């Protein structure tokens, strides 16, 4: 296959590109600056420009670009940036693909379990569950809706609603592990909130699975089948790192540092998400249990 990837320099996009190339597929990264790398596709979502001709004839597109959700405190300006970086890029790409003479068979577009909101408590949610509350839920709804031109053009479109992605380098796990390494690890807030997670290996495998399964379209939860509470995750991480997990971090500390909205929606959110579409389609997770997953990702026997 020829697969165009936006966000190919990021954690998930980079791993996906390496996996595809290792199996002999051609990867065409979408980049904002001219490059000597062969096969790149120039685009700029801010100005609304894209080299449509370079996309004509690709077999599939994976769209993962967007500003980092947790990189900066959420001012109103930052929230607009987070929203626009996703909706404008998705709209530009979807409209461009819809107008091609030789359209790709599939668009796999990044999304997030933030769609379900941050305050679902112990409720189990699936791809059929309604949108939740909060800034991220609205952002994800608009993000997915921006791909409508591709759907209307008959391109099979999948929205990959990812949970926390565990990787040895990059992403959230190294930051989560640091307090444990310093002997100050523990639950966040009450610890009762549910965490839906997936390893980077399974995330990449799931995207590749979705590229190849013609019958799957719409939202797909990319999470392991067994979510855990925050307290369980803290204990598992402590056990893998051979560190205690007995120093809880009060919720008010995060709310003071980050603001209530960002703290509640990112660090203290409860999302008990089930991957019904992937499981029903026969996808085989490599990692289903959190302690074993953390051991494997962090290289601990």
Q: Does residue 301 surpass a pLDDT of 70?
A: no
What's the structural domain count of the chain?
1
Which structural domain range is residue 75 located in? 2-298
CATH of the domain at 174: 3.40.50.720
Helix (H) or strand (E) holding 174: helix 173-181
Convert the pLDDT of each residue in 134-182 to its tens digit. 999 999 999 999 999 999 999 999 999 999 999 998 888 888 887 777 6
Q: Give the model confidence (pLDDT) of 1-43 as tens digits.
A: 999 999 999 999 999 999 999 999 999 999 998 877 778 999 9
Residue 231: pLDDT above 90? yes
DSSP, residue by residue, 204-246: HHHHHHHHH-TT--EEEEES-S--EEHHHHHHHHHHHHT----
Q: How far apart are CA 66 and CA 69, in angstroms?
A: 8
């Amino acid at each position: 296959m020829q697969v165009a990837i936006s966000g190919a320099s990021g954690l998930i996009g980079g791993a996906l590109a390496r996996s595809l190339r290792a199996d002999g597929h051609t990867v065409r990264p979408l980049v904002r600056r001219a490059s000597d790398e062969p096969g790149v596709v120039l685009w700029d979502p801010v100005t609304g420009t894209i080299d449509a001709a370079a996309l004509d004839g690709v077999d599939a597109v994976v769209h993962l670009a967007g500003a980092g959700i947790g990189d900066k405190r959420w001012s109103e300006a930052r929230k607009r940036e987070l929203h626009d970086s996703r909706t404008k890029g998705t709209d530009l790409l979807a409209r461009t693909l819809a107008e091609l003479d030789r359209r790709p068979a599939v668009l796999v577009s990044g999304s997030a379990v933030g769609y379900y909101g941050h305050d679902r408590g112990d409720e189990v949610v699936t791809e059929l569950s309604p949108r939740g509350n909060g800034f991220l839920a609205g952002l994800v709804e608009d993000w997915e809706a921006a791909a409508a031109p591709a759907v209307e053009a008959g391109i099979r479109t999948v929205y990959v609603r990812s949970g926390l992605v565990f990787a040895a380098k990059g992403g959230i796990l190294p930051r989560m592990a640091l307090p444990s390494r310093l002997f100050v690890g523990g639950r966040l807030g009450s610890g009762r909130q549910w965490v839906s997670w997936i390893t980077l290996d399974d995330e990449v495998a799931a995207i590749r699975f979705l590229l190849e399964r013609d019958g799957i379209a719409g939202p797909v939860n990319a999470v392991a089948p067994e979510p855990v509470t925050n307290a369980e995750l803290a204990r598992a991480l402590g056990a893998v790192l051979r560190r205690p997990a007995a120093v809880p971090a009060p919720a008010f500390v995060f709310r003071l540092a980050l603001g209530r909205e960002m703290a509640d929606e990112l660090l203290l959110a409860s999302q008990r998400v089930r991957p019904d579409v992937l499981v029903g389609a026969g996808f085989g997770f490599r990692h289903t249990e959190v302690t074993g997953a953390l051991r494997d990702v962090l290289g601990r026997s």
